[in-house]
Amino acid sequence: MSHKSPQPLVSYKSGALSGDIVPPGDKSISHRAVMLGGLAEGKTSVSGLLEGEDVLCTVAALRELGATITKDPDHIWHIQGVGLGKLKAPAKILDMGNSGTAARLLMGILAGCDFTSRMTGDASLCKRPMSRVILPLTQMGASFTTTDSRMPLHLTGSSHLKPMTYRLPVASAQVKSAILLAGLSAEGITTVIESAPTRDHSENMLRHFGANVTVTKQPDGTEAVSVTGHPRLSGQNIIVPADISSAAFPLVAALLRPESRVSLRNVGINPRRAGLIESLQEMGAKITLSNRRDQGGEPVADIIAEGSALRGVTIPAERAPSMIDEYPILAVAAGCATGPTRLLGLGELRVKESDRLALIAEGLKSCGVKVEIDGDNLTIHGTGAQPVGGATIATAMDHRIAMSFLVLGGATEQPVTIDDGSFIATSFPAFVETMNGLGLKITVNR
C-alpha cells in the first residue's frame, strides 16, 4: 500500500461544542461482517459499514479470494459469499494496509484454505508481532513462512485443521477470533480459554451467520469459547452500529469544553467495549445514554456528552480489554482533569499501531502535562487548568494518537499540531469535517 504525502494538521482552542452526529460504523464489526459474508452461502447485505481504509482493505482481500462485493447508491454493501471452504487462491498479494484486525482475522480464515496466500501491510503493520496468531494456527495445521514472525508472510492452509483447546497468554480478541475462524475448518470443536473477557463481536456474528458457538464459565473463573467445525453459514442482513472507539473523540472533546452538548446517535455499547464510558463517568463526566436497543445482536444507544469538570481516578488493569483502543483519548481527558489519574496494565499498548504508551506520554509532556511511566502503568498529573499545548506531536502513523491530540488542541492555551493526519482515514475518514462541524477548529498546517 502506497503511503500518501504527510498531512500536518493544527488544532486551535475552541469554544463550546454542539451538534448531533452519527459516528462512523464500528470497525471491528465491519471487518467481521465482510469476512463472514464472504464465507457464507448466499447474499449478505450490510448497512452502516465503515468505509475507512482499514475495512476497504478487507473488502479488497475478500474480492481477491472470490467473493463478489458491491455497494449501491444508498451505501448498502452487498456480498455474494462463496461458502465455507470455497474461497479461491489469490493471484495477488493481500495488502492489509494498517489493519492488525484485518490481518490477524484473515490469517485465521486462510489457515482453513487448501492454498498458499501472501500477505503484507504498510510499514506500521509490518512492524507488529504476528507470533501470537502464528503459533496457535501452526498447531492447528497451517504453515507460515515469515521473517521474525512479522509481515510480509506466506501462509499455507488446510481445510482439515486439527481442533484444539488454546489458553490465551494475553487478553486479545484478535487472537481469539483468528482461532475461532480457523476452527470453522477443523474436524470437531475448537475452544479458546481467556482469563479476561475480550470483545465478543466474533462470537455474536458467527452465531448470526449460523455457526454453533458456546461460552462456558470454568471453575477457575476463566471463560471458554467454543466453535463447532464445518458449519453451514448463511448470508444475513447486518446493520453496523456506530463505533464507540470513533465516538470517543467527539465525546471527550465535548467534555473538555464548558457549556458543550453533543449528541452521538446509534453507538454500539457492547459491555466488552464500553470501559471508556465507565471510566469517564467515574471522573465526573456528564454522559447520558438513552434509547437503548438491540441491533443485530449488539446493544446500541444514543449518547449525550456535556461539558464537565473532570477529576483524576485510578483505572484498574482488568478494565483494559474493554477500552484498549480508547486509552489515548482517555489520557487526553486525564491531562485536563484535576488531580492524578493512574492507568494500570497498559502493556498491550506497546504493540498497537505504534508504541502508544510512549507516544501518549511524550505527547502530553510536550503539551505541558506531567506524566510518569512505571512499567506498564501511566500516571497523568492533571492540574484542572488548561494545558499549555503549543507542541508538534509525532504520530508514528497512528490514527488514534493523531485524533486524540487534535482533540487536546481544542482545550489547550496554544494550538497543537500533529505531523501527519493522513492515517486518520483508516477509521474516521470525515474526522476533520465532523469535528469542525461541532465547533472544533482544525486546519491543514501549510
pLDDT tens-digit readout, 258-288: 999 999 999 999 999 999 999 999 999 999 9
Radius of gyration of the chain (CA): 21
Active-site residue (options: 26, 95, 302, 325): 325
Instruction: Report pTM.
Output: 0.89
pLDDT given for residue 218 in this prediction: 86
pLDDT, average across residues 192-201:
91
Q: What is the pLDDT of residue 353?
A: 61
* Domain segments of the chain as ranges: 9-25+241-444, 27-239
Sheet holding 338-343, edge to edge: 314-315, 338-343, 377-383, 370-374
State yes or no: is 325 an active-site residue: yes
- Rounded to whole angstroms, the Cα distance separating 205 from 35 reads 10
Instruction: Please give the grid coordinates belonging to residue 57.
Output: 482493505
Is the peptide bond prior to 152 cis by the omega test (within 30 degrees of 0)? yes
> Would you state the pLDDT for residue 37?
98
60-94, pLDDT tens digit by residue? Answer: 999 999 999 999 999 999 999 999 999 999 999 99
Q: What amino acid is encoded at 99 in this protein?
A: S
Over residues 333-349, mean pLDDT: 95
Provide the 8-state DSSP code for 74.
Answer: T
Q: Which of 307, 233, 301 is nearest to 14 (CA)?
A: 307
**CATH class assigned to 27-239:** alpha beta
pLDDT at residue number 197: 87
Tell me yes or no: is domain 9-25+241-444 CATH 3.40.50.720: no
3-state secondary structure of 42: strand
Closest Cα to residue 336, out of 284, 275, 264?
284
* Closest C-alpha among 191, 205, 279 to residue 236: 205
Q: Is the dihedral of CA 399, 401, 407, 412 positive or negative?
A: negative
pLDDT at 5: 81
- pLDDT value of residue 2: 42
d(CA 239, CA 253): 27
**For position 351, what pLDDT does the model report?**
67
Cell 507488529 belongs to 128
Residue 45: CB atoms within 10 A of its CB come to 16
Same fold yes or no, 9-25+241-444 and 27-239: yes
User: What is the grid cell recorded at 293?
Assistant: 436497543
Measure CA 132 to chain center.
Answer: 18
Mean pLDDT in residue range 174-185 = 98
pLDDT one-digit tens code per residue, 349-406: 886 666 899 999 999 999 999 999 999 999 999 999 999 999 999 999 899 999 999 9
Q: What is the mean pLDDT of the chain?
A: 95
The pLDDT of residue 445: 83
Higher pLDDT, 407 or 425: 407
